[in-house]
Structure 1
Amino acid sequence: MDVDAFVVAHRPTWDRLEDLIKRRNKLSGAEVDELVDLYQRVSTHLSMVRSSSSDSALIGRLSTLVARARSAVTGAHAPLWSEFRKFWTVSFPVVAYRCWRWWLGSAIGFTIVAVAIGIWVASNPEVQATIGTPSDIEQLVNHDFESYYSENPAGSFALRVWINNSWVAAQCIAFAVLLGLPIPYILFQNAANVGVAGGLMFDAGKGGLFLGLLTPHGLLELTAVFLAAAAGMRLGWSVIVAGDRPRAQVLAEQGRAVVAVAIGLVAVLLLSGLIEALVTPSPFPTWVRIAIGVLAEVAFLAYVVYFGRRAVAAGESGDVADAPDFVPTR
């Protein structure tokens, strides 16, 4: 081995690794990945020098550099609070932000279907006759719809709502394994249910009551469902148009991102369930209840946009496999 030529060829790599080691507590995610890569490459260099040269000075320098790099890479596991913080400031919002087109498309499609069915039901007595008898419809619009939100204790009702909403979102997440193909049907079913109820209530002159009871929790609740649907459908489309990348790799990466959405939506749906149990049936004026729902919705969207945009700018993907289980240490 020509030691001088070897040193000239690889010195920039060694200098770069040393620089990363010195700044190990202030590295970005990309620089942490680079640190690991350079550690592996310089370990190979050390092995080559040991087997082909007797230059003790060079062997000593590379041995020290590799030992320091190993300590930086494997020195300590990231604390739980750090992982928790990264999930809520990076992993979840960046996935939500990246699929905003699918998210918005789901919301627009849902709204169009719900409004169209509502108008159809409200303007056609024949359609209403297929839904139920006049006494059944009267019971629904005059009693059942409103009492649904107050007939049970708030705690048990919140739990039941959370389970129900989580189930709808879970179906969207679960059907991601089928490339998201059944998800539009799930959205259509829920849009049809909202449209039928809205059509009956508006036809009975109780549109204000309908919106006053649905809006406080419905904004955040439906937003969560749309996000779950968007993540599932985006996964399917990514696999279909994988380009030059192996479809199995795309499926794995997007699947891990969908997991991040699923975990995040547990908290979002819990909040919407609490609003439905505590705010919707409360004695507050309608405008106050709606204002609380709008505030929760705006806060969630602002959270996603702020942290999601920042994470995208930093090159984050939301793939949980990208998150290291260690932090560089001294």
Structure 2
Amino acid sequence: MPRIDLDAYVVAHSHEWARLEQLVSTRRPDGPESDELVDRYQQVATQLSVIRTSAPDAEVIAYLSSLLSRARIKMIGARILSWQAAGRFFTEQFPAALYRLRWWWLGCLAGNVALTAVLMWWLLDNPAIEQTLIPPGEVDNYVNEDFENYYSENAQGAFGTRVWLNNAWVAAQCLALGITGVGVIFVMFQNVTVLAGAGAIMTNHGRGDVFWGLILPHGLLELTAIFVAGGIGLKLFWSWVEPGGLSRAKALAQTGRTMGTVALGLVAVLLVSGIIEAFVTPSPLPTWARIAIGVLAEVAFFLYVFVVGRQAFLRGHTGDISADLLEDRVATQD
């Protein structure tokens, strides 16, 4: 492609970029605006390809890449807000992503469960370490009151929202720190030590039944969601270390886009676990019934992955975003 006059090209198309900026800034685009957003996105992506090929300018390329990135997020959000798109997301994109990357998060789950068991066994075998975890004068209150009261001392709605946001933040950390590798391991280890420490203290004081009766109803699904985030985060790190047949940039971009799909889906999964923690865990139901609800939720998740996700994966879905939203697949013509 012959070189172009960049200044003239910018002048000729700046109004189109300004219009895309306006559409991206629209809080809730209506139907025509959403359609225009897609058209403008493809148009500007083509223009960016032209500039990259025939008149590379770092400042213009950075501006347009940022604008397209924001437009892509806006389009994904607009699609997910529609019932039909939400249905496709939860029956195709999200489960396919979970199934395709299953070995990463299953490995993370298995490793964390094993580490929790080892740490809890070690703490039970060394009860003196308990004093480093909680002041001796507070042990009785923690074991007999505080641990159990934590689930019922606040209004259920407010408590559920707080738990949901807190768990979403932990999952977000695992995903955001994925590129470092070490950051994911650190966040996972923090959660494991807290869980193992609480379990050991409660068990050492004859309250192990209370501990498991309160942890299992919501903890099975909640921790699985966190381990999914951790596993996908580690996959992002590995995409940088070993990109396979792709360039590192493309491998990271592909995994990063899939990670975005998983992040959106986990919001819903953690909402379910938060509802269980707020309304089932502290409920007057028998312990066996509360644990049964937690087990059913966990089984439902695995069926979702290995039945719905497998079928979606076999139909060709990968969890990546739609092809028409991929900037590098837009035709490079003016």
Structure 1 length normalisation: TM-score? 0.72
- Residues of 1 paired with 2:224 and 2:324: CA distance? 27
Q: Give the partner amino acid of 1:128.
A: E
**Deviation of residue 122 (structure 1)?**
2.0
Q: Does 1:234 align with 2:240?
A: no
Structure 2 length normalisation: TM-score? 0.71
* Residues 293 and 314 of structure 1, relative CA distance in 2, 3 Å threshold: same
Aligned to 1:21: none
Structure-to-structure mapping, 1:65-214, within 5 angstroms: 80-176=82-178, 178-214=179-215
Query: C-alpha offsets along residues 283-302 of structure 1, whole Å, 9 cap, x if unaligned?
Result: 00000000011111111111
Aligned to 2:33: none
- What secondary structure sits across from 2:182 in the alignment? coil
- What secondary structure sits across from 1:282 in the alignment? coil
Q: Does 1:251 align with 2:252?
A: yes
Aligned to 1:267: 268
**Deviation of residue 245 (structure 1)?**
1.5
Kept in 1, the 8 Å contact 2:94–2:265? The answer is yes
- Residues of 2 paired with 1:116 and 1:260: CA distance? 33
Query: C-alpha offsets along residues 147-200 of structure 1, whole Å, 9 cap, x if unaligned?
Result: 000000101100111111111101011112x24331111111100100000000
Kept in 2, the 8 Å contact 1:123–1:203? The answer is no
Structure 2, unpaired ranges of 5+? 1-78, 327-334
Structure-to-structure mapping, 1:239-318, within 5 angstroms: 239-318=240-319
Structure-to-structure mapping, 1:15-30, within 5 angstroms: none
Aligned to 2:332: none
- What secondary structure sits across from 1:283 in the alignment? coil
- Residues of 1 paired with 2:318 and 2:134: CA distance? 49
- Residues of 2 paired with 1:164 and 1:155: CA distance? 14
Matched residues, number? 248
- What secondary structure sits across from 1:149 in the alignment? coil
**Deviation of residue 78 (structure 1)?**
11
* Residues 136 and 116 of structure 1, relative CA distance in 2, 3 Å threshold: same
Structure 1, unpaired ranges of 5+? 1-76, 326-330
**Deviation of residue 236 (structure 1)?**
1.5
Query: C-alpha offsets along residues 59-82 of structure 1, whole Å, 9 cap, x if unaligned?
Result: xxxxxxxxxxxxxxxxxx999333
Q: Give the partner amino acid of 1:125.
A: P
- Residues of 1 paired with 2:311 and 2:240: CA distance? 26
Kept in 2, the 8 Å contact 1:169–1:228? The answer is yes
**Deviation of residue 262 (structure 1)?**
0.4
Kept in 2, the 8 Å contact 1:172–1:180? The answer is no
Kept in 2, the 8 Å contact 1:179–1:239? The answer is no
Query: C-alpha offsets along residues 124-150 of structure 1, whole Å, 9 cap, x if unaligned?
Result: 232112223322111111111000000
- Residues of 1 paired with 2:239 and 2:286: CA distance? 46
**Percent identity of paired positions between Structure 1 and Structure 2:** 47
* Residues 301 and 117 of structure 1, relative CA distance in 2, 3 Å threshold: same
- Residues of 2 paired with 1:323 and 1:85: CA distance? 19
- Residues of 2 paired with 1:321 and 1:229: CA distance? 24
